[in-house]
């Protein structure tokens, strides 16, 4: 057992400040445990989100010493006793109160994505897919929607382009549908125009913070960008389209 | 000071689903498909409900890994697992429809693990005769809730996130509304509705060591109880045999039964595989009696019997407890769970990735190299709101229930994997039931403003006091009391718990929350205390009455199953004077065709009776 110092952001959308708390930390504790201890002993109304406490639900995303983390999976023994631990809400989203921010924008983005449209089943109602073919979508489907990737994406965080880019979480959601062996929907146009695939410039910050270790950029976003490029920017297709439209114009004239 | 209810934000729906886990989502999807204007109240953010934590899989007799499986074997396993206290019709409906409901998820985009020939793969689990659990690694619940969520958001359902329901409102006997508050602002909200489907999950937070999160405070059970519905089988609370036990801060977090399904074995401090010593008479014929036979089973020999680690959860939990009590526990007072010596590291990481991750991150244990330490954790409520098996409606007209908050389906003990299939089947059926009920309503319903005012007044009381009981401390007191209502019980201990709960009640009337109503966990905790106390009292009172040991209910002073109790379910209801009334209820005679299946031996069943 040891004493630690925490600086926790307390406030709401109008104003706020860091408040210092000193508390005991027991062996094996994670940051979320300490926040709960502070809540029950010193700050009964301190707002934070959590559910499963096992890295499976993605509720407790926040910034610990400047890094986007799940509080439930951040062990206290990774910090020294002397280190002051600073905890604040994810900064990309508007704050509601204390460590809780308004993530409703994310739920709106999900609705933009055309839903799954399966091919028809076999006559007995069953579908056949091989494990090899589902492996790569299963990687994307591990996402627990903690939005740490959204928090760290500089298109959203620094450039505030929520109006044109849905962020890494929904790029891999789209990838999970596009690469689903049974899916028949065509989302390539939507991925370019409504999801804003062109805005990602592959800095891989999202991949670095993903608690599920999903290779968001390389396995998800880049293949989607390639599909978009193949459709709209492939020189052969581009030339063919141009020539055929030129011929059509000539014939009409 | 009273307020005009017209000043409270109000929504109008045909049906309101309270709870947005798998059961609530499936119910809401069905309601919407039945052209009902559907509202769904979600206590957390959408997609965070406890379904997301389910690991092992959804039980359904798809017959992909063993074609001897069919609904009847599943039904028989479920009844035997429930020690024949399950409601016959519910267990039948569940077994009959589980396979179609799982297949339907594939049409909505779910990606389950595959067999070599490309069908949904199925994993062995405790109490299931054949490999039966459709799964996605060890994160099946996430796959299911995300599938339902991503499908559901395109079905026109009105989703009310971070909203807590506090009280059901009635027009005479019928459901007519729901009163609640927004977590973000603390403002109150009113839903006018013709029907309510309760799908609020369990009440694990009554206990200290639990796999449940803060949400599981028995709200739905309490709201239904206060509205006049009955709770059934409340003495049966399931302790999952394998929760994490070390470090202390993670105590209770679930370790999936899938570890044992994939070949993991339990060992005591002597390194003995002790489960061979605990096979109950009823299961001896179908359980391996030597490590050699168990190994053959793991190697795929279909003539070999299942290993004893895959006995039902009640049996395994009590076996671990017994080993600890007799001085053969693990370092921190549990048992060792070994998968490292049973499967190669790549296989473990592929089939149990989240267990690998969980132990590595939280306990600094590499499960591909070392043994895990595990012990029982309160996981699931078999008991809950009593419903009609056909319609899923309670005794309150317009009030339906599905999923964990419902009682009756699982009897005295639930088989692993049967909850994910339960929520699909009964979510679907409760949607159909609500549609049928609403279509027969003949007059408009109204809300009594006095009821709303009473509920509002009670809700703001903790904020208006100058001081009083700390809700966090009160919660800890309740959890301490429930140590007497644990995995093993005595009459004296249960009586002590009931008395202590009675003594706690006045404190509840003086509970105090600091701060404002805006996103205030202290106030939210204060409001969840009454539901937890009602559930705790119901469990303790029912457990005191049942003088036998059956399934998840173990009485040291009444060992073994007693024949006279095999025909009794216990129900509780809110009496006129506000006290809790407990009643023994003699079970219906089972339909002949179901009794024949349930009591048949496997050879007869597989030989094709009643095909």
B465-511 residue pLDDT tens: 999 999 999 999 999 999 999 999 999 999 999 999 999 999 999 99
Which domain covers residue B123, as residue numbers? 14-238+379-439
Asked if B116 and B204 sit in the same domain, the reply is: yes
Q: Are B493 and B554 in contact (CB under 8 A)?
A: no
Q: Do B362 and A116 touch (CB under 8 A)?
A: no
| pLDDT above 80 for A245 | no
Q: And the tokens for B501?
A: 């709960």
Q: What span, in angstroms and rounded, lies between the C-alpha atoms of A62 and B551?
A: 42
Query: In A, which residues are within 8 Å of B152 by CB distance?
Result: none
Q: Are B225 and B534 in contact (CB under 8 A)?
A: yes
How near does any CA of chain B get to the CA of A127, in Å?
7
Asked if B420 and B460 sit in the same domain, the reply is: no
What 3-state DSSP class applies to A118?
Answer: strand
DSSP track, A22-47? EEEE-TT-BHHHHHHHHHHHT-TT--
Give residue B1's pLDDT.
45
Query: In B, which residues are within 8 Å of A107 by CB distance?
Result: 46, 153, 161
Is B228 among the domain residues? yes
Asked if B369 and B383 sit in the same domain, the reply is: no
Q: And the tokens for A134?
A: 């589902």
Angle between helices B140-152 and A131-141 (to 10 degrees): 70
Asked if B234 and B126 sit in the same domain, the reply is: yes
Give residue B195's pLDDT.
98
The CATH number of the domain holding residue B261 is 3.90.700.10
Q: Which of A212, A201, A205, A117 is nearest to A161 (CA)?
A: A201
Give residue B16's pLDDT.
98
For residue range B138-167, list pLDDT tens digits in order: 999 999 999 999 999 999 999 999 999 999
Helices (H), B14-129: 22-33, 71-81, 88-107
Structural domains of chain A ordered from first start? 2-101 (3.10.20.30), 104-235 (1.10.1060.10)
**Of A28, A37, A182, which to mutate for an interface test with B (greatest number of B Cβ within 10 Å)?**
A28
Give residue B410's pLDDT.
98
Give residue B608's pLDDT.
58
Q: Do A127 and B106 touch (CB under 8 A)?
A: yes
Half-sphere exposure of B496 (CA within 13 A, CB side): 12
| pLDDT above 70 for B2 | no
Query: In B, which residues are within 8 Å of A144 by CB distance?
Result: 52, 142
3-state helix, strand, coil in chain A (%, to 5): 40, 15, 40
How near does any CA of chain B get to the CA of A132, in Å?
9
**Of A9, A50, A57, A182, which to mutate for an interface test with B (greatest number of B Cβ within 10 Å)?**
A57
Which residues touch B266 (CB under 8 Å, ≥6 apart)?
B260, B273, B274, B275, B309, B316, B319, B320, B335, B336, B337, B338, B374
Q: What span, in angstroms and rounded, lies between the C-alpha atoms of B335 and B272?
A: 10
Q: Do B50 and A52 touch (CB under 8 A)?
A: yes
Give residue B610's pLDDT.
45
For residue range B223-264, list pLDDT tens digits in order: 999 999 999 999 999 999 999 998 888 899 999 999 999 999
Helix (H) or strand (E) run with residue A156 in it:
helix A154-157
Asked if B264 and B216 sit in the same domain, the reply is: no
| pLDDT above 80 for B88 | yes
Last residue of some domain: B357, B377, B397? B377
Is B306 among the domain residues? yes
Q: And the tokens for B153?
A: 């958001």
Q: Do B119 and A12 touch (CB under 8 A)?
A: no
B333-349 per-residue burial string, b: 16 or more CB within 10 A, e: under 16: ebbbbbbbebbeeeebb
Q: In the structure, how many helices (H) and strands (E) does chain A have?
A: 10, 7
The CATH number of the domain holding residue B534 is 1.20.58.100
> Chain B neighbours among A 90-149 (CB < 8 Å)?
96-98, 100, 103-104, 107, 110-111, 115-116, 118, 121, 125-131, 134, 137-138, 141-145
Q: Do B109 and A40 touch (CB under 8 A)?
A: no
Active site members of B: 240, 260
Q: In the structure, how many helices (H) and strands (E) does chain B have?
A: 18, 22
| pLDDT above 70 for B611 | no
Is B171 among the domain residues? yes
Please give the mean pLDDT across all residues of chain B. Answer: 95
For residue range B503-534, list pLDDT tens digits in order: 999 999 999 999 999 999 999 999 999 999 99
A132-169 per-residue burial string, b: 16 or more CB within 10 A, e: under 16: ebbebbbbbbbbbbbbbbbbbbebbbeeeebeebbbbb
Mean pLDDT score, B61-85: 96
Q: Which of B28, B405, A39, A105 is nearest to A50 (CA)?
A: A39
Q: And the tokens for A245?
A: 């439209």
Q: Angle A124-B113-B131 (CA atoms, 0-180°, nearest 5)?
A: 75
- DSSP state letter for A113: S
Query: In A, which residues are within 8 Å of B358 by CB distance?
Result: 54-55
- Provide, rounded to the nearest whole percent, the portion of chain A with pLDDT above 70: 98
| pLDDT above 50 for B300 | yes
- DSSP state letter for B476: H
Is B5 among the domain residues? no
Q: Are A25 and A38 in contact (CB under 8 A)?
A: no
Using CA coordinates, name the residue in chain A closest to B21. A57
Asked if B250 and B230 sit in the same domain, the reply is: no
Nearest by CB to B114, from A33, A130, A144: name it. Answer: A130
For residue range B188-212, list pLDDT tens digits in order: 999 999 999 999 999 999 999 999 9
| pLDDT above 70 for A145 | yes
Asked if B257 and B353 sit in the same domain, the reply is: yes
Q: Do B154 and A58 touch (CB under 8 A)?
A: no
| pLDDT above 80 for A157 | yes
Asked if B232 and B308 sit in the same domain, the reply is: no
For residue range B342-373, list pLDDT tens digits in order: 999 999 999 999 899 999 999 999 999 999 99
Half-sphere exposure of B40 (CA within 13 A, CB side): 33
Mean pLDDT score, B98-105: 97
Query: In B, which residues are within 8 Å of A58 by CB distance?
Result: 48
Strands (E), B226-354: 231-232, 237-244, 265-267, 335-338
The CATH number of the domain holding residue B144 is 3.50.50.60
What is the ipTM score, two decimals?
0.93
Q: What span, in angstroms and rounded, lies between the C-alpha atoms of B24 and B52?
A: 13
Is B140 among the domain residues? yes
| pLDDT above 80 for A252 | no
Count: domains in chain B: 3
Q: Are B501 and B533 in contact (CB under 8 A)?
A: yes
Asked if B331 and B431 sit in the same domain, the reply is: no
Query: In B, which residues are within 8 Å of A131 by CB distance?
Result: 113-114, 121
Q: What span, in angstroms and rounded, lies between the C-alpha atoms of A77 and B321?
A: 31
Using CA coordinates, name the residue in chain B closest to A144. B142
> Chain B neighbours among A 197-236 (CB < 8 Å)?
none
Query: In A, which residues are within 8 Å of B214 by CB distance?
Result: 50-51
Q: And the tokens for B322?
A: 């017994």
Asked if B286 and B340 sit in the same domain, the reply is: yes
Mean pLDDT score, B426-448: 97
Q: Which of B308, B328, B208, B214 is nearest to B268 (CA)?
A: B328
Q: Is A80 exposed, middle or buried (0-12, 13-18, 19+ CB in 10 A)?
A: exposed
Q: What span, in angstroms and rounded, lies between the C-alpha atoms of A88 and B412?
A: 45
Last residue of some domain: B391, B421, B439? B439
Q: Are B390 and B89 in contact (CB under 8 A)?
A: yes
Is B361 among the domain residues? yes
Asked if B336 and B386 sit in the same domain, the reply is: no
Q: Do B248 and A58 touch (CB under 8 A)?
A: no
Is B6 among the domain residues? no
Give residue B5's pLDDT.
79
Give residue A240's pLDDT.
78
Mean pLDDT score, B260-274: 96
Q: And the tokens for A223?
A: 């293949």
Nearest by CB to B519, from A27, A47, A143: name it. Answer: A47
* Residue contacts between A and B (CB atoms, under 8 Å): 164
For residue range A25-70, list pLDDT tens digits in order: 998 999 999 999 999 899 999 999 999 999 999 999 999 999 999 9
Nearest by CB to A73, from B103, B353, B361: name it. Answer: B361
**Of B111, B201, B245, B477, which to mutate for an interface test with A (greatest number of A Cβ within 10 Å)?**
B111
CB neighbours (10 Å) of residue B581? 13
Give residue B282's pLDDT.
87
Q: Which residue has the tokens 């010493």?
A: A65
Is B601 among the domain residues? no
Asked if B213 and B189 sit in the same domain, the reply is: yes
| pLDDT above 70 for A181 | yes
How near does any CA of chain A get to the CA of B42, in Å?
13
Q: Do B111 and A134 touch (CB under 8 A)?
A: yes
Q: Do A107 and B46 touch (CB under 8 A)?
A: yes
């Amino acid at each position: 057992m040891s004493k630690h110092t925490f600086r926790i952001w307390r406030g709401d959308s109008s104003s706020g400040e860091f408040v210092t708390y000193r508390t005991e930390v027991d062996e094996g504790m994670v940051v979320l445990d300490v926040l709960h201890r502070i809540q029950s002993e010193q700050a009964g109304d301190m707002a934070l989100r959590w559910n499963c406490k096992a890295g499976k639900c993605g509720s407790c995303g926040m910034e610990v010493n400047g890094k986007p983390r799940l509080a439930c999976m951040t062990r206290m023994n990774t910090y020294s006793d002397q280190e002051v631990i600073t905890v604040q809400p994810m900064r990309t989203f508007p704050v509601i109160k204390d460590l809780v921010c308004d993530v409703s924008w994310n739920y709106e983005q999900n609705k933009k994505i055309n839903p799954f449209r399966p091919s028809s089943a076999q006559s007995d109602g069953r579908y056949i897919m091989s494990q090899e073919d589902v492996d790569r979508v299963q990687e994307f489907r591990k996402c627990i929607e903690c939005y740490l990737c959204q928090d760290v994406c500089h298109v959203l965080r620094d450039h505030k382009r929520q109006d044109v880019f849905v962020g890494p979480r929904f790029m891999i959601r789209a990838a999970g549908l596009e690469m689903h062996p049974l899916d028949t929907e065509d989302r390539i146009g939507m991925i370019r125009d409504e999801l804003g695939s062109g805005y990602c410039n592959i800095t891989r910050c999202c991949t670095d913070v993903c608690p599920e270790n999903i290779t968001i950029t390389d396995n998800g976003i880049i293949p989607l960008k390639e599909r978009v490029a193949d459709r709209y920017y492939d020189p052969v297709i581009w030339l063919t389209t141009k020539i055929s439209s030129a011929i059509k114009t000539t014939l009409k004239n | 000071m009273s307020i005009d209810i017209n000043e409270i934000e109000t929504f109008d729906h045909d049906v309101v689903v309270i709870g947005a886990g798998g059961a609530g989502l499936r119910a809401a999807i069905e309601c919407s498909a039945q052209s009902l204007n559907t509202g769904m109240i979600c206590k957390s953010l959408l997609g965070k409900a406890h379904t997301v934590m389910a690991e092992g899989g959804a039980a359904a007799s798809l017959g992909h890994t063993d074609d001897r499986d069919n609904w009847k074997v599943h039904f028989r396993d479920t009844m035997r697992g429930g020690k024949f206290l399950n409601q016959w019709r519910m267990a039948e409906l569940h077994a009959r429809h589980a396979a179609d409901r799982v297949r339907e998820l594939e049409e909505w985009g779910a990606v389950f693990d595959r067999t070599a020939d490309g069908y949904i793969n199925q994993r062995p689990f405790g109490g299931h005769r054949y490999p039966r659990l459709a799964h996605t690694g060890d994160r099946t619940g996430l796959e299911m809730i995300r599938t339902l969520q991503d499908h559901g958001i395109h079905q026109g359902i009105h989703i009310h996130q971070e909203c807590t329901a506090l009280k059901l409102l009635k027009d005479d006997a019928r459901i007519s509304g729901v009163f609640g508050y927004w977590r973000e602002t603390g403002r109150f909200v009113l839903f006018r509705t013709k029907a309510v489907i309760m799908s609020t999950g369990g009440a694990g937070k009554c206990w200290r060591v639990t796999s449940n999160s803060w949400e599981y405070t028995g709200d739905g059970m309490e709201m239904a109880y206060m509205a006049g519905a009955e709770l059934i089988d409340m003495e049966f609370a399931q302790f999952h045999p394998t929760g994490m036990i070390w470090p202390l801060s993670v105590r209770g977090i679930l370790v999936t039964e899938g570890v044992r399904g994939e070949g993991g074995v339990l060992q005591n401090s002597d390194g003995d595989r002790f489960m061979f010593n605990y096979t109950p008479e009823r299961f001896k014929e179908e359980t391996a009696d030597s490590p050699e036979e168990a190994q053959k089973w793991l190697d795929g020999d279909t003539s070999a019997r299942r290993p004893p680690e895959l006995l039902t959860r009640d049996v395994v939990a009590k076996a671990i407890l017994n080993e600890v009590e007799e001085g053969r526990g693990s370092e921190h007072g549990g048992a060792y769970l070994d998968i490292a010596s049973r499967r190669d590291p790549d296989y473990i990481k592929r089939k149990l990735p989240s267990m690998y991750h969980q132990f590595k991150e939280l306990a600094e244990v590499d499960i591909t190299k070392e043994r895990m330490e595990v012990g029982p954790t309160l996981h699931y409520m078999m008991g809950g709101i009593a419903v009609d098996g056909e319609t899923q409606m309670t005794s309150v007209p317009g009030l339906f229930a599905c999923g964990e908050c419902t009682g009756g389906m699982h009897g005295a003990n639930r088989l692993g994997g049967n909850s994910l299939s339960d929520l699909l089947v009964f979510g679907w059926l409760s949607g159909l039931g609500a549609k049928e009920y609403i279509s027969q309503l003949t007059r408009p319903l109204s809300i009594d403003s006095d009821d709303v005012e009473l509920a509002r007044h009670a809700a703001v009381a903790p904020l208006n006091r100058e001081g009083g009981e700390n809700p966090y401390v009160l919660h800890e007191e309740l959890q301490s009391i429930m140590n007497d209502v644990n995995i093993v019980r005595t009459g004296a201990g249960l009586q002590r718990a009931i008395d202590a709960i009675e003594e706690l009640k006045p404190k509840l009337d003086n509970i105090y929350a600091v701060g404002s109503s805006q996103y205030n966990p202290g106030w939210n905790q204060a409001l969840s205390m009454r539901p937890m106390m009602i559930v705790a009292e119901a469990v303790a009172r029912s457990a005191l009455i049942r003088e036998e040991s059956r399934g998840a209910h173990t009485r040291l002073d009444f060992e073994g199953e007693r024949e006279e109790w095999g025909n009794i379910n216990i129900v509780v209801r809110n009496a006129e004077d506000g006290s809790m009334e407990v009643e023994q209820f003699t079970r219906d005679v089972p339909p002949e065709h179901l009794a024949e299946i349930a009591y048949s031996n496997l050879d007869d069943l597989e030989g094709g009776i009643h095909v």
